[in-house]
């Protein structure tokens, strides 16, 4: 090739998506030296079945190997391309692929001569689809294509480790099987970067002609300004495959050949605005115009690709977690947030961010802390510092921890206070003592009026009658005082007990006051007892207001007692005794189940 000849001079009608193949260079092995040593076609070895496909210069047929009972692929030259250059390229492809035994490189079974003295290659039959076709399918996601690229990169890395360059990496040269096995094919442009005594592969530093597929080519493949291919050339092509995955088009595109070649010379193609920073940086390094700025070989690129692939999965998790975070904030903004919806959103959000961090330790986690703080505030607003503390445990914030410790202490203080208040308000608290005291007093209230009524007041001596009345009231006061002292702890343990104690003392003092006033005014003692029942009626009204309508019978009893006593004061003692009997059963009776329970379980 003359120094002033360009790609367009050599391949003026080239298809940007097709491989441009140069003539063999002089440093390679002369095909005539090896063709004579190749085995000849034997009809018994292979039985041709049908044509599988045709390319630019070759045709691939399905054949049967009777000896092994298996199907194989046989690649031969088309009649229109049976020339020295094409024959050499078939040999070169067979030698390159045959020297590389890797799961992602097409296996070569044998090499021979057909009846037209043209070489043929027996290859593993590959079933499936070309990557080009899969890239067009909308149902295949990014992760699947990155997996394919990783397998291709592993195959190229293996080739680089053995000194072989592919130089024609593109989706058309990748086959994907039914079980997602990935195979790199078409090694027709392969060269070596090592000294090869057999000279089966041409040396990379001897390549002075353009070679490759324009839509994917690296700038140095134009062979301009003395540029030569290297392992970094394949790195550029691998970057081109990543570009195709992320942008949905080849790096240099289609159109007029001159425009495509100009884009090849520019090196790095235009990157989409929506591309994430990591992908932009990776493509910027892999497809740099200057080969020295690219990763050294496919192994170096593979490490960066694997890191990016992990991060892609992490980014997908982050996007999903961000969606759950938005749902959580939306629910928090509602007038009445649903705790169940919040917990579900928080769990999904937390899982997404944590899994992303496992795959990518440097993954941004700011939104997770924002969500956690929002949930801490929500629980604190609902006076749930315990739940808030559990969530806050995931946040490294000493100030927040101290705030929650204070909230927990305040909540515990309120709980203890509420527990004490509930115990104080409970009817069951110290019920045995209350029932005992009330029972004794009530019995006295029932018995005393009846006994006095039977014995008579000595009404002809009013002073003596009042002495008896004062004495009975004083005896009641002494009894109440004695019981209060004896059971001072129990009688102070609940609100009802304290209320009962105060009421008993109040009745005693109120009765004493009524008796004194009536005695001073010279009112009959029976009339005094009738008026004294106003105190009992007032007590009944207070009890109904405090306890409830369950004490209505007692209120009605004292109302009736007061009415009877007012109508006929001589009935005041009997009426009072009857009302006290109702009081005994109405007040003490409902407490008895609690008394029995407290007796059986003194705790």
**CA gap 182, 152 in Å, rounded:** 7
Tokens 């109040």 -> residue: 506
Interior angle at CA 179, CA 174 and CA 184, nearest 5? 20
Q: Which two tokens stand for residue 43?
A: 């009809």
pLDDT tens digits for range 542-582: 878 877 788 888 888 888 888 888 888 888 878 888 888 88
**Spatial CA neighbour of 244 closest among 105, 131, 106:** 131
**CA gap 322, 328 in Å, rounded:** 10
| Coil/strand/helix, residue 497 | helix
| Model confidence, pTM | 0.64
Q: Which two tokens stand for residue 254?
A: 């289609």
* Cβ proximity of 58 and 75 under 8 Å: yes
pLDDT score recorded for residue 496: 79
* Low-confidence stretches of the chain (pLDDT beneath 50): 1, 458-461
Burial of 323 (0-12, 13-18, 19+ CB in 10 A): middle
DSSP per-residue codes, 123-172? EEPP-SEEHHHHHT-TTS-HHHHHHHHHHHHHHHHHHHHTTEE----SGG
Torsion of CA 587, 593, 596, 598, to 10 degrees: -90
pLDDT score recorded for residue 461: 45
**Spatial CA neighbour of 469 closest among 230, 477, 138:** 477
pLDDT score recorded for residue 25: 63
The helix (run of H) or strand (run of E) holding residue 183 is strand 182-184
* Cβ proximity of 110 and 122 under 8 Å: yes
* Cβ proximity of 349 and 371 under 8 Å: yes
Helix, strand, coil % (nearest 5) of the chain?
60, 10, 30
pLDDT score recorded for residue 599: 65
| Coil/strand/helix, residue 28 | coil
| Coil/strand/helix, residue 446 | helix
pLDDT tens digits for range 355-410: 888 888 887 777 888 999 999 999 888 888 888 888 888 888 888 888 888 888 88
For residue 20, what are the contacts with CB-CB under 8 A and spacing of at least 6?
Answer: 7, 10, 11, 14, 210, 211, 212, 213, 214
DSSP 15: -
Tokens 């050599």 -> residue: 10
Residue 70 pairs with which residues in a beta bridge? Answer: 65
**Spatial CA neighbour of 214 closest among 258, 270, 153, 149:** 258
**CA gap 491, 502 in Å, rounded:** 10
Can you give the C-alpha Rg of the chain in angstroms?
52
What phi and psi values does residue 126 have, to the nearest 5 degrees?
-105, 125
* Cβ proximity of 508 and 555 under 8 Å: no
What phi and psi values does residue 19 have, to the nearest 5 degrees?
-80, 125
């Amino acid at each position: 090739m003359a120094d002033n000849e360009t790609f367009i001079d050599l391949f003026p009608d080239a298809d940007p998506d097709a491989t441009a193949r140069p003539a063999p260079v002089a440093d390679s092995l002369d095909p005539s030296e090896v063709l004579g040593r190749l085995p000849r076609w034997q009809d018994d070895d292979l039985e041709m079945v049908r044509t599988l496909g045709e390319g630019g210069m070759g045709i691939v047929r399905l054949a049967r190997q009777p000896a092994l009972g298996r199907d194989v692929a046989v690649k031969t030259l088309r009649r229109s391309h049976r020339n020295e250059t094409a024959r050499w390229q078939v040999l070169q492809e067979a030698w390159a692929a045959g020297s590389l035994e890797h799961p992602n490189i097409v296996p070569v079974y044998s090499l021979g001569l057909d009846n037209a003295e043209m070489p043929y290659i027996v290859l593993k039959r590959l079933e499936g689809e070309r990557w080009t076709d899969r890239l067009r399918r909308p149902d295949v996601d990014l992760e699947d294509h990155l997996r394919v690229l990783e397998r291709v990169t592993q195959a190229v890395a293996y080739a680089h480790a053995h000194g072989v360059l592919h130089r024609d990496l593109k989706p058309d040269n990748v086959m994907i099987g039914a079980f997602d096995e990935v195979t790199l094919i078409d090694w027709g442009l392969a060269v070596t970067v090592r000294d090869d005594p057999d000279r089966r592969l041409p040396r990379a530093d001897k390549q002075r002609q353009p070679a490759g597929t324009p839509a994917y080519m690296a700038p140095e493949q134009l062979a301009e300004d003395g540029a030569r291919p290297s392992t970094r050339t394949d790195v550029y092509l691998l970057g081109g495959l990543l570009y195709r995955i992320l942008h949905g088009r080849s790096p240099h595109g289609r159109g007029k050949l001159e425009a495509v070649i100009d884009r090849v010379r520019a090196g790095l193609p235009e990157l989409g605005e929506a591309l994430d920073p990591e992908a932009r940086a990776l493509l910027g390094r892999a497809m740099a115009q200057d080969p020295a700025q690219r990763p050294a070989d496919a192994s170096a690129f593979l490490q960066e690709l694997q890191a990016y692939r992990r991060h892609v999965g992490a980014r997908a998790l982050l996007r999903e977690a961000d969606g759950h975070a938005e749902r959580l904030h939306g629910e928090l903004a509602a007038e009445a947030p649903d705790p169940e919806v919040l917990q579900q959103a928080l769990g999904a959000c937390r899982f997404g961010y944590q899994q992303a961090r496992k795959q990518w330790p440097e993954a941004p986690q700011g939104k997770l802390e924002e969500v956690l703080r929002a949930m801490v505030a929500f629980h604190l607003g609902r006076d749930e510092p315990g739940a808030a503390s559990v969530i806050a445990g995931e946040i490294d914030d000493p100030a927040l921890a101290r705030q929650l410790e204070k909230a927990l202490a305040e909540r515990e203080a309120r709980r203890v206070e509420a527990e004490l208040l509930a115990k104080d308000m409970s009817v069951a608290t110290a019920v045995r003592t209350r029932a005992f005291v009330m029972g004794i007093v009530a019995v006295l209230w029932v018995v005393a009026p009846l006994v006095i009524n039977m014995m008579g007041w000595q009404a002809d001596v009013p002073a003596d009658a009042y002495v008896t009345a004062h004495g009975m009231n004083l005896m009641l006061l002494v009894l109440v005082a004695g019981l209060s002292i004896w059971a001072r702890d129990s009688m102070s343990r609940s609100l009802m007990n304290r209320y009962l104690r105060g009421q008993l003392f109040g009745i005693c003092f109120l009765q004493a006051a009524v008796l004194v006033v009536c005695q001073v005014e010279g009112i009959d003692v029976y009339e005094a007892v009738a008026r004294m029942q106003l105190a009992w009626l007032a007590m009944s009204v207070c009890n109904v207001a405090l306890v409830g309508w369950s004490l209505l019978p007692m209120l009605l009893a004292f109302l009736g007692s007061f009415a009877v006593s007012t109508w006929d004061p001589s009935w005041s003692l009997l009426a009072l005794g009857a009302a006290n009997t109702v009081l005994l059963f109405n007040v003490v009776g409902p407490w008895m189940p609690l008394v029995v329970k407290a007796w059986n379980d003194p705790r």
